[in-house]
Structure 1
Amino acid sequence: MIKKVLAIGMLAMLGNAYAAAPSDELILKFMEVSNVKRSLDSMRTNADTTLRNNFLQTLQYQQLNDKQKKIAEEASDKAVKVQQEYLSYDSIVKMVLPLYRKTFTKEELQAAINFYSSSAGRSINQKMPELSTESMKLTSELNKKVMTQYQQIARDAAERIKATQ
Structure 2
Amino acid sequence: MKRLLILLLAVFFSVPAFATPAQDASIEKLLILTEAQKLNDSAIADSDDIIETTLKPILQLDNMTAEKKKMAESFLNKYKNIVKEEFSWKKMMPDYIRIYRETFTEEELQSLIAFYESPTGKMFIRKMPLIMDKTSDIMRQKMVSILSRMNTALGESMNLAPQDKSLPAANP
Same fold (TM over 0.5): yes
SS at match of 1:84: helix
| SS of corresponding position for 2:22 | coil
Q: Which residue number corresponds to residue 104 of structure 2?
A: 104
> 1:32/1:62 Cα in 2 relative to 1: closer, same or farther (>3 Å)?
farther
- Residues 83 and 14 of structure 1: CA distance in aligned 2, closer, same or farther (over 3 Å): same
In the alignment, which residue of structure 1 is the partner of 2:30? 30
Alpha-carbon displacement from aligned partner over 1:57-84 (angstroms, at most 9, x marks no partner): 2322565333222211111111111111
What is the distance in 1 between the residues matched to 2:37 and 2:122? 15
Cα deviation for residue 121 of structure 1 reads 1.4
5+ residue gaps, structure 2, are 1-6, 150-155, 157-172
Query: Counterpart of 2:67 in structure 1: which amino acid?
Result: K
Q: 1:140 deviation in Å?
A: 7.4
Question: What per-residue deviation string (whole Å, max 9, x for no partner) do you get for residues 81-123 of structure 1?
Answer: 1111111112111222221111111111112112212222111
Q: 1:121 aligns to what?
A: 121
Decide whether the 8 Å contact of 2:29 with 2:113 is kept in 1: yes
RMSD, aligned α-carbons: 3.3
| % identity of equivalent residues | 24
Q: 1:21 aligns to what SS in structure 2? A: coil
- The CA distance in 1 between the partners of 2:38 and 2:114, in whole Å, is 19
Cα distance in 1 for residues equivalent to 2:139 and 2:55: 24
Higher helix share: 1
Give the Cα separation in 2 of the matches to 1:132 and 1:103.
23
1:136 deviation in Å?
5.3
Corresponding pairs, count: 139
Call closer, same or farther: CA 1:16–1:26 in 2, change over 3 Å. Answer: same
**Deviation of residue 131 (structure 1)?**
2.6
1:46–1:114 Cα change, 3 Å: same
Pairwise CA distance, 1:38: 1.1
User: Does residue 92 of the first structure (1) align with residue 92 of the second (2)?
Assistant: yes
Unpaired runs of 5+ residues, structure 1, are 152-157, 159-165
TM-score in terms of structure 1 length = 0.67
What is residue 163 of structure 1 aligned with on the other side? none
DSSP-derived class of the 2:109 partner: helix
- 104 and 52 in structure 1: CA distance in 2 versus 1, 3 angstrom threshold: same
Amino acid at match of 2:93: V
**CA 1:137–1:115 in 2, change beyond 3 Å: closer, same or farther?**
same
TM-score (normalizing by structure 2): 0.65
| Alpha-carbon distance change, 30 to 47 in structure 1, aligned in 2, over 3 angstroms | same
